[in-house]
Amino acid sequence: MWTLHLDCFSGISGDMTLGALIDAGVDPRAIRGALDSLGLPITLEIERVKRNGIAATAVTVVAPDQEEYRFLPDVEAILAKGMLTSRQRDLALAIFRKLAVAEATVHGMPVDKVHFHEVGALDSIADIAGSAVALDLLKVERITCRSVPPGSGSVKCAHGLMPVPAPATAVLLQGMPLAKSPVTGELVTPTGAAILATVVNEFTDQPAMTVQRIGCGAGKKDFWEQPNVLRVFVGESTSSPTADESDTVTVLETNLDDLSPELIGYCFEQLFAAGALDVFTIPVQMKKNRPGVLLTVIAPGDGSAILGDDSVPRDGHLRHSPAHSDS
């Protein structure tokens, strides 16, 4: 099984992820082409640097400063007009939605009303969209990650001085094994945490695999304690998951007709809070030519966490189908 292992011993950010994947062999021309199609005033600069003697690829997004905030629908509209494949667009959207849900949880507001501050900036959009394109081009079947060191101390952000990990980052890191680090400062950014929360199938310090490629992505800071790089290993897993290691997920779907976007956004929040692994909508045409949406929920196990007790109907308008996954 073609596997990607994220060795984030010095943390992870969007630009570190993109740099590491390019260093591991992803063609930067394909990433530049995808980002150019978004129609944003951004340029991707790629260079070889050293961090504490370790050679790595550094990615810098050159973009003008913009003062206005963006909301999730604004970012979705930007990604929709780009020439990304459906897999690339869906992955980028999933990462942004993870971020939106985390911010909504922290600030106690609907997902669609959350201001994307730093994460809605042009460089962050490029980092996330570029990483989604790179991960798709790498064509790995499984992604693993070591324990995550978030760092310590405090970080200055749009809402003032915040403890490390920052509130949204802390929400995204829930359920992940954390590690200590000798570095004082922010090692995991909200973007980096959202990427981990979206793509990682298993957390393990080192999977059994035959490594074919190694990539190193450089962070912006240069620590004296350790190299500030994200290292990735790409190769073949020496053993495939057994039947005992497979998971069961349930796909729940229902058609929604004549509902305001605010209600659908609130529904997203409640479903994720109830334990949904992913939630997304697809535009559909209802009877009498009314526009509607197909709401799809991927729930763990038999879906009981989402469905509640047995009084909830599992047929008719609501369809549910168990699916097996090796992730």
| Predicted pLDDT of residue 120 | 52
CA distances, 324 to each of 78, 243, 248 (Å):
33, 10, 5
Predicted local distance difference test score (pLDDT) of residue 68: 67
Longest dimension (CA), the chain: 66
Looking at residues 59-75, what average pLDDT do you find? Answer: 82
The pLDDT tens digits for 235-263 are 998 755 544 456 778 888 888 887 788 88
pLDDT at residue 306 greater than cutoff 80: no
In this prediction, residues 39-50 reach a mean pLDDT of 94
Is 116's pLDDT higher than 80? no
Q: Is the pLDDT of residue 304 over 80?
A: no
* pLDDT surpassing 90 at residue 56: yes
| Distance between CA atoms of residues 136 and 91, nearest Å | 9
**Contact call for residues 14 and 189 (beta carbons, < 8 A):** yes
Contact 280, 121 (CB under 8 A): no
What local confidence, expressed as pLDDT, does residue 320 receive?
46
pTM: 0.73
Does the pLDDT at position 321 exceed 50?
no
Q: What is the pLDDT of residue 239?
A: 58
Banded model confidence at residue 316, pLDDT cuts 50, 70, 90:
very low
**From residue 172, how far is each of 142, 217, 262 by CA, in Å?**
20, 22, 23
Regarding predicted confidence, which is higher, 85 or 291?
A: 85
Q: What is the DSSP letter of 26?
A: -
Q: Alpha helices of the chain — where are they, by DSSP H?
A: 14-23, 28-36, 72-80, 86-107, 122-138, 167-172, 190-199, 261-273, 304-307
Cα separation, 19 vs 30, in Å, equals 14
Percent of residues, the chain, with pLDDT higher than 90? 54
In 10 A of CB 244, how many CB atoms? 5
Q: Left (φ > 0), alpha (ψ -120 to 50) or beta: where does 308 sit?
A: left
Averaged pLDDT for residues 32-39: 95
What's the Cα-to-Cα distance from 318 to each of 141, 195, 261, 289, 294, rounded to whole Å? 30, 30, 20, 21, 11
Give yes or no for residue 294 having a pLDDT over 80: yes
Pick the most confident of 11-20, 91-100, 244-253: 11-20
Apex 226 CA angle, 208 and 130, nearest 5: 65
282 falls in which pLDDT band (50, 70, 90)?
A: confident
Please report the pLDDT score of residue 35 as a whole number: 96
Q: Which residues contact 64 (CB under 8 A, 6 or more apart)?
A: 41, 122
Q: What is the mean pLDDT of the chain?
A: 86
